[in-house]
Structure 1
Amino acid sequence: MENTPKVILENITKKYRLYEKGSSRIKDALFPLRKANARDFTALKDINLTAHKGEVIGLVGRNGSGKSTLLKIIAGISAPSSGKVTVNGDIVPLLGLGTGFNQELTGEQNLYYYLVLLGYNKQEIKEIINETTEFVELGRFIKQPLKTYSKGMGTRLSLAVKMFIDPDILLVDEALSGGDDYFKAKSIEKMKELFNSERTIFYVSHSAKNVLDLCNRAILLEDGKICADGKPEEIMALYKKQVEDRRERKRKKIERKKQKNISGSK
């Protein structure tokens, strides 16, 4: 049905075990009944979220708030500790640029095998590779091993191919931060086309401008929880206030410490 949600998250919680030493992790795996030097970290806490076709959702919040973890759970890369994930449609996660590419293969070969794994047929693969090659403007390097690429070139290739894939659901994690200013501007224009194509898109970004330009809904995460969900203008204003309040608290803390040091030296 047309109105069927594309993504439904029900009571999603994600916990990790943090170890003081790498050896503690091994001991914990070998001797699960033995008390290890570890503590639980909850990255996501009781997340409930429904996304429909055509929604472009900006996920915002400071580093460590749970944005990337949430995308990985939607993509199926990471399993929740508890809760239920329902996805109706094909997903392409644009996460970790360059992930899965083989440094020994050429750029063209990497594109081919990546698309084969996604299930595209030969004609579709040919068309996507042609579009990607033209867009990324790597010239003769497209037929050279990836290990000869600069970091920026590899980023451009990884980002470009995913722009020409046609998924129902697209997950984007700070992808537009890669490449030079020319390629960033070109990528943003291409992203605008994708974001206006009735797909369901989750977009993680620290750029207020990109969220306001590209998204029709925004969600603010704080300490693994959804603390606000609404129009991008409202959410970004709230996020800006949170950042300013945090800076002010930090400034006051530093000032108090200085005053204490001054008083103690007298």
Structure 2
Amino acid sequence: MSDSIIQLENVGVYYRGGRQRGAKASSAPWALRGLTLDIRRGEKLGVVGRNGCGKSTLLRLLANIISPDEGSIRYDRPDLHVQLLALGVGFEGHLSGAENAILSGLFMGKSKRHMESRLREIQEFSGLGDAFHKQVNTYSSGMNARLGFSIGLQTDPDIFLIDEVLGVGDKAFLEKSKAALRERFQANTTVVLISHDARTISEVCDRAVWMNAGRILAEGDPTHVCETYETGIASSRRAL
């Protein structure tokens, strides 16, 4: 597709250490298998699925942290700025929230002066108060999520990857974050959001996919995909 920013074609990733020497690929415990997906420029894509379905592996692929074991992944250009927001990823624990904000911006190609000029906005949006100037290793998971999301709003990445972190903050921050995803991101910023909360994906995203066992089971309108997912989950529970 001409508007694709990332294209995955028949991608497979197997769990490291999960395949015995000499075993066939078909016997490996695959995290992803035969996955084909276009990430479109400027879209807000939601990915829903149960734990272990391959969602986080997909984000690591998109962030270029890991490479596929089969198939191909193609980027629109080699200098794409991709920011991954995941719990326990990306922050230096001995640095303060403010120092991590500057460091994150430098990694994204922003100048130190630019990030220093945005510190007040990051601190205010995060709601961290004085903790913004304390070491991140003193933060809770919710505080980490609030800091990471707030930094992402000020670094303007080409692709913002959000892995299951909006649900760890308080309700007020969740609502503020959803409003930012809908309104504050520039039109050319692509967002891929993983969430257990199908309602959040329905409200925020303009396209969704349901993943299970490393494959896509449904793709399209977020409301329809999330309803299909919840129906499938309910059916599987009744079958137990």
User: Could you say which TM-score interval applies, normalised by the shorter chain?
Assistant: 0.7 to 0.9
- Whether 2:48 is the aligned partner of 1:55: answer no
CA distance in 1, matches of 2:33, 2:184: 31
Q: Percent same amino acid among aligned pairs?
A: 34
Please, which runs of 5 or more residues in structure 2 have no aligned partner? none
Match of 1:256 in 2: none
CA drift of 1:151 comes to: 3.9
Bigger radius of gyration: 1
The aligned counterpart of 2:153 is: 163
Please, what TM-score do these two structures have when normalized by structure 1? Answer: 0.79
2:63 maps to which of 52, 65, 75: 75
Question: In 2 relative to 1, CA 134–215 (structure 1 residues): closer, same or farther, beyond 3 Å?
Answer: same
Question: Does the CA contact (< 8 Å) of 1:73 and 1:80 recur in 2?
Answer: yes
Q: Does residue 202 in structure 1 map to residue 201 in structure 2?
A: no
SS at 2:196's partner residue?
Answer: coil
Q: Please give the per-residue CA displacement for 1:117-160, whole angstroms capped at 9, x wherever unaligned.
A: 22211332123323201212322222222233344333321222
- Relative to structure 1, is the Cα distance of residues 235 and 161 closer, same or farther in structure 2, using a 3 angstrom cutoff? same
2:137 pairs with 1:147: yes
| Number of equivalent positions | 235
- CA separation of 1:155/1:230 partners in 2, compared to 1, >3 Å: closer, same or farther? closer
The one-letter code of the counterpart of 1:233 is: T
Give the 3-state SS of the residue equivalent to 1:182 in structure 2: helix
Determine whether 1:115 maps to 2:116: no
User: 1:57 Cα deviation (Å)?
Assistant: 1.5
| 1:1-266 correspondence to structure 2 within 5 Å | 3-18=2-17, 40-88=28-76, 90-194=80-184, 197-250=187-240
- Whichever structure has more helix as a proportion of its residues is 1
Matches of 1:206 and 1:153, distance apart in 2? 19
Distance across 1 between alignment mates of 2:129 and 2:219: 44
Separation in 2 of the partners of 1:54 and 1:143? 33
Cα pair 2:49 2:196 within 8 Å, conserved: yes
**Alpha-carbon distance in 2 for matches of 1:155, 1:222:** 25
1:95 partner SS: strand
Normalised to the residue count of structure 2, the TM-score between the two structures is 0.87
- Structure 1, unpaired ranges of 5+: 20-24, 251-266
How far apart in 2 are the matches of 1:51 and 1:154?
27
Contact conserved, 1:74 with 1:87, CA < 8 A, in 2?
A: no
Structure-2 separation of matches of 1:98 and 1:63: 17
Please give the per-residue CA displacement for 1:187-232, whole angstroms capped at 9, x wherever unaligned. 2222222467242221111212111111111111121111221111
Counterpart Cα distance in 2 of 1:195 and 1:236: 23
The farther-off stretch of 43-52 and 179-188 is 179-188
| Secondary structure of 1:6 counterpart | strand
For 2:207 and 2:49, locate their aligned partners in 1 and report how far apart those are by CA, in whole Å: 14
CA distance in structure 1 between the partners assigned to 2:87 and 2:183 by the alignment: 20
* CA RMSD across the alignment: 2.4
| TM-aligned CA deviation for residue 116 of structure 1 | 1.5
Separation in structure 2 between the aligned mates of residue 139 and residue 234 of structure 1, nearest angstrom = 40
